[in-house]
Amino acid sequence: MTQPLPNIAFLGTGLMGAPMVRRLLGAGYPVTVWNRAAEKARALVAAGAEQAGSPAEAVAKADITFTMLSDGAAVADVLFAQGTAEALRPGSVLIDTSSIAPDVARDHAARLEELGVTQIDCPVSGGTAGAESGTLALMAGGPKETIARIAPVLEPLGRMTHVGPAGAGQVCKLANQQIVAITIGAVAEAMVLVRAGGADPARFRDAIRGGFAESRILELHGARMIARDFTLGGPSRLQLKDLRGVETLANANHLELPLTDTVRAAYEAFVAAGNGDVDHSGLLLHLETLNSVSLLEERS
């Protein structure tokens, strides 16, 4: 006899959460959604989701609950200030796909364990494009047995890797964000250099594709820089939040990370100038301002 699919609650249906919900609905899972801005959750009803009026209501019947929220404070508020943790069913699993500090993730896991709920910290990488296509990289921290049990639910979202105990997923996400930020900075600096030197940025990008400089950042964000399309995908303010998290973790472990320090300072300046909701590939604009140059080109 075929086992029924688990009931899912999904809290946070913004830029990343909404396409993840659509992937779960497409795989046949029953999903109840909640979002602080109710209209964002309402938009998913036509795709088959059920909308709840509160996060506690959303999780009442859930076997598995996802959270995809902006930061640790938002996760703590939804779980513990709004009564959601007490509404979770004992024996259920909470999968926190938000990007939060590792020590906060461990604290939440301990508090939920007291209520009979297992938390898996499972931040993701791949942006809105990965969420829409189901090709996210999912970094899961928590008990091995629980992660094995929930693995089928994560398959529609992308590729999941168990990276260690509670909090380990968040450590790996911070390291991922280091690489993303530094690589965005490297590609943006190269674009400025190429333009200043008299070469064509678009042809430069084409020329180095397939070489040692190839990366998803060059492919996707390099294209954004050339097209000057900084439509919001990954907000710069959240990139900065993650880089500050790297700084905290590095300081706690007495590490010197000079490349990360440099790119964090660049994002600090970019966000302080009012660009917090510009896509993080827009760091190019900060470098252009520093150098008083532009990549604007006449197009035939």
So what's the pLDDT on residue 297?
Answer: 45
**pLDDT score of 294:** 54
In the annotation, is 40 catalytic?
Answer: no
User: What confidence tens digit (pLDDT) does each residue in 77-125 have?
Assistant: 999 999 999 999 999 999 999 999 999 999 999 999 999 999 999 999 9
Specify the pLDDT at position 299: 35
Which residues in the chain show pLDDT less than 70?
A: 1-2, 293-300
- Within 10 angstroms of residue 29's Cβ, the number of other Cβ atoms is 21
Do β-strands 124-125 and 136-141 pair in parallel, antiparallel, or remain unpaired? antiparallel
